[in-house]
Amino acid sequence: MSRRTTQLAAVAALSLALAGCGVGTGLAGVHDAPAQVTTTAPISPDTAQAIAARVLAKAAEAAAAKPADAQKLRTEALTGSALAVANAASRLESGAAAAPTPLTRTEPPKVLAVSRGTAWPRLILVQTATADGGAVLNLLVSPDARTPFRLSVAAPMQPGASVAALDSLNAGSPVVTTGSTLPVPPAALMTEYAASLAYPKPAAAKDIDPADPFSAAVRAHAAEQAKAFGKLASLKQVHTVEPQSTVAIALRGGGALVFGLVERTDTITLGKGGKSLTPSTDFQRLVRKKTLTKSATLRTYETVVLTVPAEGKASVVAADEVLFSAKGS
């Protein structure tokens, strides 16, 4: 056997010896990968507070900016449902209903929850106050290590509504996944809720309390509109959950807070006795028409936050809507 062969055999023997002794901890500069932290929040309460203040201030700046600068600022500060709603509101001219302002000048944002563990995406739940004494639920999201937190959802809370207790900011609140123990998965719950708002044939929502002010107003408005049309026109209203919009964070002791975006489509068709239709002011802003003779289609974003108790029916605690598309002839 040659000298080189002998050296190679010795190296192989040394490698085997090292492998048997745990090479991950036996060599200088080589260590086992640290275990993923799943029992605490990935950031401190102070850091979460600073992030919330920065993001919401940026969102407020975008809402107040001139049209030439607003789109760029919105893209930097917003994402997901909040960005879609803000873009929709911007298409309506001055004087139209706008998305809720997520930040007030008089009170700092209050961090309610931070997602647990080091996995992505990461969430920060924040409550802010409005000028009239109301409250807005804001969800901040960071999808990966390269992307800073942005405002993903902003919805004003319903009168008298409250959010059940969440885990401490130091412990963090688990993000609800598909394998959760909730009686109804968040995505299925949102689909059930959307179907319950349909007109004229809503589906029964066995897992959701239908008595919240927002849902009641949507149903009542559809009924009033159809009654006003009489035999001159018909109304059909369909609600569809936006794909990938549903996010849920666990409550302390069970249950969850579920965030979702629903698209409502109103289709108005003139009957034989109907000669013309005068659309709403917002509709006219989008289509530049004051009179319609055949049909109209309106699409509206509905931002919805439901609280799901450990036992019992879910309920809507925050909601908002904004028209984003209109067509007519």
Give pLDDT tens digits for 234-271: 899 999 999 899 999 999 989 999 999 999 999 988 88
Q: Is the pLDDT of residue 31 over 80?
A: no
| Least confident span in 11-20, 77-86, 211-220, 262-271 | 11-20
- Residue 202 pLDDT exceeds 50: yes
3-state secondary structure of 208: strand
The answer to whether position 157 is within a domain reads: yes
Task: Enter the pTM of the model.
Answer: 0.82
Flag whether 16 is in a domain.
no
Structural domain boundaries, residue 204:
45-328
pLDDT band at 38 (very low <50, low <70, confident <90, very high): low
Number of domains comprising the chain: 1
Six token digits for residue 102? 């997520």
The answer to whether 154 and 99 are in contact (CB under 8 A) is yes
Q: Determine, yes or no, domain membership for 114.
A: yes
Checking if the pLDDT of 152 tops 90, the result is yes
Q: Does 4 fall in a domain?
A: no
Q: Is the pLDDT of residue 291 over 90?
A: no
pLDDT band at 325 (very low <50, low <70, confident <90, very high): confident
Question: Which of 64, 58, 60, 67 has its CA nearest to residue 91?
Answer: 67
pLDDT digits (tens, 9 = 90+) for 72-101: 999 999 999 999 999 988 877 544 444 444
Does a structural domain hold residue 71? yes
User: Is residue 38 a part of any domain in this protein?
Assistant: no
Residue 206 — pLDDT band, cuts 50, 70, 90? very high
pLDDT at 15 over 80: no
- Per-residue pLDDT of 299-322, as tens digits, reads 999 999 999 998 999 999 999 999
**What does the block give as tokens for 257?**
């807070």
How much is the pLDDT for 285?
A: 65
Whole-angstrom CA distances from 92 to 166, 177, 295, 317 are 37, 37, 21, 27
Residue 47 or residue 102, greater confidence? 47
What is the structure's pLDDT at 104? 42
- In this structure, how many other beta carbons lie within 10 angstroms of the beta carbon of residue 194? 23
**CA–CA distance, 108 with 281 (Å, rounded to integer):** 35
Indicate whether 209 belongs to any domain.
yes
Residue 27: pLDDT band (50, 70, 90) is: very low
- The distance in angstroms from the start CA to the end CA of the chain is 93
Q: How confident is the model at residue 182 (pLDDT cuts 50, 70, 90)?
A: confident
In which band, very low, low, confident or very high, does the pLDDT at 6 lie, cut at 50, 70 and 90? very low
Calculate the average pLDDT of the chain.
83
Is 40 within a domain? no
pLDDT (0 to 100) of residue 164: 92
Q: How confident is the model at residue 17 (pLDDT cuts 50, 70, 90)?
A: very low
